[in-house]
Structure 1
Amino acid sequence: MTDPGHEQRTVLLERNLPYPPEKIWRALTQPHLLEEWLMKTDFRPDVGAAFSFSAEWGAVRGQVLDAEPHRSLSYTWGDDHLKSVVTWTLTETETGTYLRLEQTGFPADQPRYFMGAKAGWPRFLDKLEQVLAGEEAGQ
């Protein structure tokens, strides 16, 4: 029997974006662009590279697990109490890119992290779309 305290929850978001994968990849991996839609960071898309994201509310630490330019990016995301994995998948479509975000590893007995991610990621993705649109307009 499974211990309910060890069950894992996942946040999954999907969007069809009217931009090529290369453009979205830049927004997911370049610190100056990440800061515009997510948080301040020293991120670099090199497997094994450690990084942090910081905001007014605190900080998140991570390490790059996988980076396949223009296709997929995966990294750990957490603090002293949360050990999760964020995976971005980019699939080119006729009209742009299908973007899939999956964050796994939320313990069922820590709903605050899961609820925070469920509420936060849609807002972050909205900001990402604004950054992409601004870049498209040459801003």
Structure 2
Amino acid sequence: MSDALRPAGDKWALRFERRLAHPPKKVWRAITEPANLSEWYPLTVTELDPRIGGAILFRDEEGTELRGEITEFEPLKAFAFQEFGEQDRVDDLQLELRPDADGCLLIFTHTFADKTEAAGTETGWNRCLDALDQALDERG
């Protein structure tokens, strides 16, 4: 386990920082537009109402639908939502963008309850963030 895991009240948070060689506007589209988000996020995004309190709907590989609610939406700066899973599980995800030279710094935080899932979750998010970087590079 890396130092990405931190206590967050009665939950745990994995925090990742990635410097991306793309401007905030391009990264913002990759993290908030359903088709682009679906390219790297582990679930397919079927609906996204871009406002605080708006719905975000996902579908997994088996066709199960999951829902979420947008908790922060500040264009080009911050996007956060709660993802509601099985057995009353609620995960909080936050993506923050900060301009950085010709690109931007992405700060991604996933807060969850079960510490035993941290190692696998960290590995999964690293793969997803690698896929985000690759998708951005492919768009030129």
Equivalence for 1:3: none
Give 1:1-139 correspondences, 5 Å limit.
7-38=10-41, 39-41=43-45, 42-56=47-61, 59-81=65-87, 82-108=89-115, 111-112=116-117, 114-136=118-140
Q: How many residues are aligned here?
A: 128
CA displacement at 1:13 relative to structure 2: 0.7
Runs (5+) with no aligned partner, structure 2: 1-8
TM-score, structure 2 normalization: 0.82
Identity of aligned residues (%): 28
CA displacement at 1:50 relative to structure 2: 1.4
Question: What stretches of structure 1 move > 6 A for 4+ residues in a row?
Answer: none
Give the counterpart letter for 2:16 in structure 1: L
Separation of aligned partners in 2, 1:79 and 1:86: 13
Separation of aligned partners in 1, 2:90 and 2:107: 20
Matched position secondary structure for 1:37 = coil
1:31–1:44 CA contact under 8 A, matched in 2: no
CA displacement at 1:35 relative to structure 2: 1.6
Give the counterpart letter for 1:103 in structure 2: H
* Superimposed CA distance per residue, residues 73-111 of structure 1 (whole angstroms, 9 cap, x where no aligned partner): 110023133212101110001131000001113234xx2
